[in-house]
Structure 1
Amino acid sequence: MSRLTLPQTTPGVASRHVMPHTDVVIESLPKVSLHDHLDGGVRPTTIVELAREGGLSLPADTAGPLADWFRTAADSGSLVSYLETFAVTLSVMQTAPNLSRIAAEFVEDLAADGVIYGEIRWAPELHTQKGLSIDDAVRAVQSGIEQGIANVATSGRTIRIGQLLCAMRQNDNGLAVAQLAVAHRESGVVGFDIAGPEAGFPASRLADAFAYLDEHWMPRTIHAGEADGLDSIAGALSDGRALRLGHGVRLADAIHHARDDDPRAVRMDRLAEWVLNRKIALEVSPTSNLQTGAFAEYGDTMADHPFDILYRLGFTVTVNTDNRLMSGTTLSREIAVLVEVFGYTLDDVLDFQLNAAQSAFLPADERETLVSLIIDAFERA
């Protein structure tokens, strides 16, 4: 692991991180979360309670040990092993009431961390084991989101949330999920994603889904450059027409040292230039990337993460959590990790939030409003 000094966190439990040499609490800053999985951010207390109600067995019977189990199991260095932990969370997410409750708590936890705009991604096809239709699953999650927003409002805070519907790239439900996303675009869904095992399952397998999304001008982000390399990223852009890349850290493979006498001089492949020049956002999740071995060929500590290289070269990097339960993290903690490792300042943190706000799947005028809110708050910090 990264040998960081920052303790891990648990969904539903408050945390506090302070910018070095200041009194600025990161949790108090307005933030944008673009890459956060619903089934990866369930409160351990909720899992225990719902499992007990449903007669389900768990790796641990109480919330604390269960949270520890998730973090240990996820800390494998393998995306495939990391994804296996989701069998536990998914087991309690198979009914409409459970989905609504988990979505509401998810929103509350984001707001408690200072998130003012978030996109929650999840795969409806994984929530049908007890007969729930994918359409009813989307409605249940939206109901929970709206309840969570209302609960947050009672404390005087505001948050806006959109759904990103994921199709599992190893299955054959892409077109159905694309149609579902379009059908619910006026009732909470803001975009489409493909998730699951990346290697061996290129974006081209879902050509019919992307063609349908093209017909209806539906934006999409695609997991790429996490567990596979440049071909996967290229496929996400050319076959999937992605506007953002989920993780995208392997884009660093397309950046090369140009001169031995100047370590700052680099040469980029055309693919990297394309992503850079078109400001295609990279949804980077530092702790998750370390856990899954996304940048293992560069090293095994957070200091080896290519985030800083990408940021210094001008790529549109954003900071995300991926799966808060499995990584024992929050968006504020992810920022604090990067600050600790790379020495970032408040201005850098502002850059990350502006990148995310400007890349949100919102109308242009609403993105600008979001940008203004963030700038004003950072200026007052």
Structure 2
Amino acid sequence: MTEPRLTSLAHGGGCGCKLAPAVLRDILKDVPQAAAFADLMVGTETSDDAAVWRLNDQQALVATTDFFMPMVDDPFDFGRIAATNALSDVYAMGGTPIFALALVGMPVNVLSTETIGRILQGGASVCAAAGIPVAGGHSIDSVEPIYGLVALGLVHPDQVLTNRGARAGDVLILTKALGVGVLSAAFKQGRLDAAGYAALIASTTRLNTLGARLAGRVGVHAVTDVTGFGLLGHALEMARGSGLTVELTAAPPLLDGVEPLASAGVCTGASGRNWDSYGAAIDLPADLPDWRRNLLTDPQTSGGLLIAVAASEADALLALARTEGFAGAAVVGRVVEGPARVRIE
């Protein structure tokens, strides 16, 4: 049987198929908040990366789920990307993963069991690299291919990292270069060369294990991972959670090959939807080109960690990140007194 390309079966892919922030807010506005539970340390109130439940004085459970449609055609790579992305939310809270459950929705009358198996094998390979099992899961027959994980981890209750603890004077460090959405869009358009594909896979399959090293680290005040809402969207969540202004550079580090594609107009639909959702809370320079704005809203599948750290600890943290394999880690902004907005400089 000749099978179709995975991406041809999906109307969107990766974190680019997330609901736009404004749509999500509208859906959730009448959903009641969780009742007060003494042991629920992190819930839905600040748009954080995962829920956290205190188990005892030494352990808190980090729980999250993430899944999406394919952004690449290789089934093994699709599984790897989806699993890496799901585990990122545990690391972003300072947690260490302990096990995962697979979430599988596949058009079984279109894809062979071999192809579906390769997707699951890719996800399992990433979990093995993280030192955890895929201990179960759930599968359904669906129109579009969908894969992801429920990911569970542990962290000390006093060392939970959230997106709301940034302080004025903090430096902002981003551990992965931007441009995943642009590269994935170019791939779908048949415009991505082998080097660009290699850059895409290398970034999206690099586990954010650094996050577990940040728990309890002196000077680290807030952390979030940059995914479907783009750098601007996740920085804005940090600004709102902390009640401060975030200042970002207009030219953050980009993955190899991204700038010429972006300047030629390659972008995702999600980039525009992101801007429409939160652009009113962003201050842009009048002369900023549209393609640079699109990169700041570019949806990052399995993106890097955005870390608010005391200025005195920034160099040491950059050195640690690079030692951990994040060669593209760089300072991308700072936190200052002011309203909960993002300002581009």
Q: TM-score, normalised by structure 2?
A: 0.29
Q: Which has the higher helix share?
A: 1
Which structure is higher in RCO with an 8 Å CA cutoff and minimum separation 6? 2
Q: TM-score, normalised by structure 1?
A: 0.27
Q: Which has the higher strand share?
A: 2
